[in-house]
Amino acid sequence: MSERTSYIPGTPCWVDLVTPDIEAAEKFYGALFGWEIPELPNSAEMGGYRRAKKDGKDVAGVYPLMEEGQHPAWATYVSVSDAAATATLIKESGGSTLVEPMDIGMGHMAVFADPSGAVFGLWQPVTFAGAELVNEPGAFSWSELNTRDVEGAKAFYGDVFGWGLETEDLGEGRGSYTTIMLGGGPVGGVLDMNERGVPEGIPAHWQVYFVVEDIDATVEQVKAGGGGVMVEPFDVPVGRIAILTDPHGASFAAIALSEEARAKAP
């Protein structure tokens, strides 16, 4: 099992879902990933926030819609050593603040949008580092920025998190892919929405990936559970991927890792 108790600053460390119905989310994701989403002793004082568990390990957060007009969505949080200092750097680099850094006991969190409008969060750990299980079936594995300004993303995130963003031509008319590098290893990716022909109505966003055993079986289970399929399964060097939605429209990706990728996963 890929268990984690810490993350290098600059690493995506946590994901959470905002949804209009936590009980329905528990039913859908419980059937899909084997999650339990129990109410916590402090859920009420945290606005209804809960932590999804897989095999007893915290793997994701779930909370109810907080304001009018908010849409169901998955979000990615990046581990930092100083949320306040990073917040200042984000503002100086052209990002915008959605939620100022705040102390919530287990750590300090904040939410921002990059210059292209893609929303992401910061997490400065105190007693909680982030996802306790990763790169295993039913757990978070990868976060990917979908943007129409890859060069702008390289500049912004490079300044903020010290990421190295390396773009590779995939060949055979498949376009390019940019890998986010930190400390000599990959921690995420960047997809060029213009290059992939993504409709203009879809804004820049961070896509969350979860590991599954069988992508085709997962797609059928999503359909049976009331979810949808945005992109049918397709093969990539590290496995087989599909882009899906839950019954309330929150988008997420599922990946069945290749044997080689599974062996290399930290």
Assess whether pLDDT exceeds 80 at residue 189: yes
Per residue in 172-183, pLDDT tens? 666 789 999 999
Q: How confident is the model at residue 60 (pLDDT cuts 50, 70, 90)?
A: very high
Query: Are 171 and 120 in the same domain?
Result: no
Task: Tell which residue, 42, 167, 160, has the closest CA to residue 97.
Answer: 160
How far is it, in rounded angstroms, from Cα 19 to Cα 21? 5
Query: Are 163 and 112 in the same domain?
Result: no
Do the domain assignments include residue 116?
yes
Which domain covers residue 216, as residue numbers? 140-264
**Residue of higher predicted confidence among 120 and 43:** 120
Angle (nearest 5°) at CA 120 between 118 and 122: 155
Assess whether pLDDT exceeds 90 at residue 265: no
Do the domain assignments include residue 7?
no
How far is it, in rounded angstroms, from Cα 121 to Cα 119? 7
Task: Tell which residue, 137, 185, 138, 127, has the closest CA to residue 5.
Answer: 127
- State both tokens at 184: 């000599």
Strand 239-245, strand 251-257: pairing = antiparallel
What is the model's pLDDT at position 43?
A: 72
Do the domain assignments include residue 260?
yes
Of the three residues 97, 125, 153, the one that is the final residue of a domain is 125
**Residue of higher predicted confidence among 183 and 41:** 183
Do the domain assignments include residue 182?
yes
What is the model's pLDDT at position 258?
A: 83
Q: In Å, how far from its chain's centre is CA 208?
A: 3
Q: Are 189 and 144 in contact (CB under 8 A)?
A: yes
CATH of the domain at 234: 3.10.180.10
Q: How confident is the model at residue 209 (pLDDT cuts 50, 70, 90)?
A: very high
Q: What is the mean pLDDT of the chain?
A: 93
Do the domain assignments include residue 6?
no
Per residue in 14-24, pLDDT tens? 999 999 999 99
Of the three residues 125, 148, 178, the one that is the final residue of a domain is 125
Alpha carbon distance, N-terminus to C-terminus of the chain: 10
Assess whether pLDDT exceeds 90 at residue 262: no
How far is it, in rounded angstroms, from Cα 30 to Cα 233? 21
Assess whether pLDDT exceeds 90 at residue 241: yes
Q: Are 115 and 204 in contact (CB under 8 A)?
A: no
Which residues have a Cβ under 8 Å from the Cβ of 56 and sit 6 or more positions away?
Answer: none
Do the domain assignments include residue 1?
no
Mean pLDDT of 78-99: 97
Query: Are 108 and 169 in the same domain?
Result: no
Q: Are 52 and 65 in contact (CB under 8 A)?
A: no
Tally of domains in the chain: 2
What is the model's pLDDT at position 89?
A: 97
Query: Are 113 and 157 in the same domain?
Result: no
- Predicted TM-score (pTM) of the model is 0.95
Mean pLDDT of 108-136: 97
Per residue in 143-170, pLDDT tens? 999 999 999 999 999 999 999 999 988 7
Q: Give me the amino acid identity at 149.
A: D
Query: Are 52 and 148 in the same domain?
Result: no
